Amino acid sequence: MAIIDPIVNGLNSGWLHTDASQLQANQQFEADVIIVGTGAGGGVAAEILTQAGLSVIMIEAGPLKSSSDFNMEERVAYPNLYQQAAAMKTADKAIGIFQGRAVGGSTTVNWTTSIRTPTEALAFWAQHKSVAGLNRESLDPWFEQMEQRLNIHEWNYEPNRNNAALKQGCINLGWEYTVIKRNVAGCWNTGYCGMGCPVNAKQSMLVTTIPSALEKGAQLISRAKVTKIEHHNGQVFALKAQALDVNLRPTDVELLFKAKHYILSAGAIHTPTILIRSQVPDPHKLLGKRTFLHPTLLSGGVFADSINGHSGAPQSIYSDEFVWKNDADGELGYKLEVPPVHPILIASKTLGYGASHAELMAQFNQLQVTIALIRDGYHPDSQGGEVHLTPKGFTLDYPLTDAFWRAARRAFASMAELQFSAGALKVLPISDGMPYLSSWKDAKESIAQMSLAPLRTIVASAHVMGGCPFGEDEKLSMVNSYGQSHYLENLSVMDGSIFPTSLGANPQLSIYGITARNATALAQKLTDGKG
């Protein structure tokens, strides 16, 4: 059965796409609005602004890949679709970061979990971060709109065994659990969302808002990396970009973009990086600081029966039992989820080598993996990381603080308790030096004593947030609550970089909903309400 590739069809029908790797000479582009980045923020903004009758150009540093390219193999997906071939790490190498880099951004490779911004986060932003007008009542209609647009519904099929173990453990222990809402339509339940959906069921930006914008005449420039914002007297007058070749190395071709309005949607690392490199006004030194990751711990449970964590919707259950257990700015909370289990992912994110590692890998199909995503950015000892420029790019320093390690110890204990309760024969906290634990009693004692440290304890992240916060107080924020720059009149930011803390929830729906609100307001402003 052949799968129809909507991108191939769209390109054949005349969509305006320029692959900058094919350009031989410098070129200039003009539109009403230029959007940098095509992920959750850029994709939604592009559709809304195009529908308002504005001409739009989307610029993406990654390549345009589509279902014909998605062959369900990590060795192809990681270099094609992820930042730094999925090998990106913090400066000290202690945290591995997964972030998308292709048309559709991280939405092309995420695991489809769609959660509205938690009420606790919105309240904290209003009270402590000067964010105005974003509360349950004002935002929920925007979430409803985006849920409808992206077919976000509760996953009403049987969870796969990996998620079912999380659910069963929660039931046995009386812990909260929630059935996840997913942005899919006609999902085949195969489990390969992280490698690009091979059947176009995932309603990522790649197959929804971006095609919709292109249908209405928007332009897409792929393999072009924005290097500088040219600004003067509080106005942006151009963006400069470098064309990249097919291997994403810079070519000699330079691109210039001019517009009435510019939107940065390059994600929580690259949006601040572009702004810092362009020396935009930042009198309170906020740019690139307070970068949040939901730093994540892993726990492996070996079961007697087949778990087959590679198969089926990768995330369909989560538990918020521990996310907001303490006050928002109290001891750090953590969200419990499961990841898909694929060969490179598990081989890399486990411990040791030789016989012990081979033994773990031989139990691949019996392995249930639970993850705990730590809610960072609220506690005084959890202030996130900082992006620094280097001659060739950037580094991200992210100190793992005492407050983080206290939360990590609690999280390892919760995960082990959950896995034993769900029927695990043994549990392995993924931190070097820990043996397989044989019972919850054994685990409780061992985890209380375990040594936790950067590089010894595996820490990963798939949620980069912050670095260009929104709010009304210029001492706390770079852009206002509508994403409009405090300093450059015709510049907005619409992506995860505006979050002044982490979310305590997977970020895609927060970005969709808040961008829908802010891009709609911008469209009205730019069209004088005539759109």
Partner 1 sequence: MKRRTFLMGAFAGTAALALGVNLYSPEFSLPEDSEGKDYRLLFSVLLPVMLDGALPDVATHKLAAQNRTLDAIKQSITVLPDEQQTELFELLDMLENRLGLLVLTSSMTPLLMRSPAELTDMLETWRHSYFALLQTAYLGLRELVMASYYACPEHWSRLHYAKPELFN
The CB-of-194 to partner 1 minimum distance in angstroms stands at 10
CB 329 within 8 A of CB 298: no
The CB-of-350 to partner 1 minimum distance in angstroms stands at 8
Cβ-based neighbours of 96, under 8 Å, separated by 6 or more: 87, 88, 89, 348, 349, 458, 459, 460, 461
Q: From 98, 97, 26, 20, select the one nearest 62 (Cα to Cα).
A: 20
CB 463 within 8 A of CB 507: yes
185 binds partner 1 per the rule CB under 8 A:
no
Q: From 16, 282, 318, select the one nearest 162 (Cα to Cα).
A: 318
1 binds partner 1 per the rule CB under 8 A:
yes
Of 114 and 200, which CB lies nearer to partner 1 in the complex structure? 200
- Residue of 17, 27, 53, 76 interacting with partner 1 (CB under 8 A): 76
Q: Considering only residues 367 through 396, tell me which ones interact with partner 1, judged by CB under 8 A.
A: 390, 392-393
16 binds partner 1 per the rule CB under 8 A:
no
Four-CA torsion 180, 183, 185, 191, nearest 10 degrees: -70
The CB-of-152 to partner 1 minimum distance in angstroms stands at 24
Of 9 and 356, which CB lies nearer to partner 1 in the complex structure? 356
Of 12 and 353, which CB lies nearer to partner 1 in the complex structure? 353
Instruction: Return the amino acid letter for 443.
Output: A
Give the per-residue contact string, 51-70, with partner 1 (x = CB under 8 A; - = no).
------------x-------
The CB-of-351 to partner 1 minimum distance in angstroms stands at 9
Of 66 and 209, which CB lies nearer to partner 1 in the complex structure? 66
- Residue of 231, 310, 426, 486 interacting with partner 1 (CB under 8 A): 310
Query: What is the C-alpha separation between 369 and 294, in angstroms, rounded?
Result: 17
- Residue of 15, 29, 82, 512 interacting with partner 1 (CB under 8 A): 82
Return the bridge partners of 89, or none: 96
Q: Considering only residues 419 through 438, tell me which ones interact with partner 1, judged by CB under 8 A.
A: 432
Residue 530 exposed, middle or buried by CB count within 10 Å (0-12, 13-18, 19+): exposed
Stated length of the chain: 531
**158 CB neighbour count, 10 Å cutoff:** 12
The CB-of-300 to partner 1 minimum distance in angstroms stands at 14
362 binds partner 1 per the rule CB under 8 A:
yes
Of 11 and 199, which CB lies nearer to partner 1 in the complex structure? 199
Of 7 and 259, which CB lies nearer to partner 1 in the complex structure? 7
The CB-of-316 to partner 1 minimum distance in angstroms stands at 18
92 binds partner 1 per the rule CB under 8 A:
yes
Which of 9-17, 352-360, 369-377, 474-482 is the region at the interface with partner 1 (rule: CB under 8 A)?
352-360
Instruction: Return the amino acid letter for 359.
Output: E
Q: What share of the chain is helix, strand, coil (3-state, %, to 5)?
A: 35, 25, 45
Which of 113-121, 278-286, 351-359, 472-480 is the region at the interface with partner 1 (rule: CB under 8 A)?
351-359
Q: Cα–chain-centroid distance for residue 115?
A: 12
Of 133 and 352, which CB lies nearer to partner 1 in the complex structure? 352
364 binds partner 1 per the rule CB under 8 A:
yes
- Residue of 27, 188, 278, 474 interacting with partner 1 (CB under 8 A): 188
Of 13 and 353, which CB lies nearer to partner 1 in the complex structure? 353
The CB-of-163 to partner 1 minimum distance in angstroms stands at 18
Cβ-based neighbours of 124, under 8 Å, separated by 6 or more: 328, 329, 378, 501
Cβ-based neighbours of 370, under 8 Å, separated by 6 or more: 165, 166, 298, 299, 301, 336, 337, 338, 415, 418, 419
Which of 34-42, 163-171, 232-240, 451-459 is the region at the interface with partner 1 (rule: CB under 8 A)?
451-459
4 binds partner 1 per the rule CB under 8 A:
no
Of 110 and 510, which CB lies nearer to partner 1 in the complex structure? 110
Q: Which tokens belong to 57?
A: 């150009």
Of 174 and 391, which CB lies nearer to partner 1 in the complex structure? 391
The CB-of-330 to partner 1 minimum distance in angstroms stands at 31
The CB-of-89 to partner 1 minimum distance in angstroms stands at 5
Instruction: Return the amino acid letter for 33.
Output: V
Q: Considering only residues 231 through 250, tell me which ones interact with partner 1, judged by CB under 8 A.
A: 246-250
Query: What is the C-alpha separation between 243 and 385, in angstroms, rounded?
Result: 30
Which pairs count as long-range contacts for 136-141, CB under 8 Å and 24+ apart, including other chains? Answer: 138/517, 139/513, 139/514, 139/517, 140/116
Which of 81-89, 268-276, 284-292, 328-336 is the region at the interface with partner 1 (rule: CB under 8 A)?
81-89
Which of 75-83, 111-119, 231-239, 253-261 is the region at the interface with partner 1 (rule: CB under 8 A)?
75-83
Maximum CA extent, the chain: 68
Query: What is the C-alpha separation between 477 and 276, in angstroms, rounded?
Result: 15
89 binds partner 1 per the rule CB under 8 A:
yes
- Residue of 15, 125, 177, 192 interacting with partner 1 (CB under 8 A): 192
Q: What angle, rounded to 10 degrees, do the helices at 136-149 and 119-128 form?
A: 130
- What distances in angstroms separate CA 397 from CA 88, 282, 407, 452, one per listed residue? 12, 20, 20, 19
Binding site for partner 1 (CB under 8 A): 1-3, 63, 72-76, 78-80, 82, 84-89, 92-93, 96, 188, 190, 192, 198-199, 246-250, 310-311, 343-345, 347-349, 352-359, 361-362, 364-365, 390, 392-393, 432, 454-456
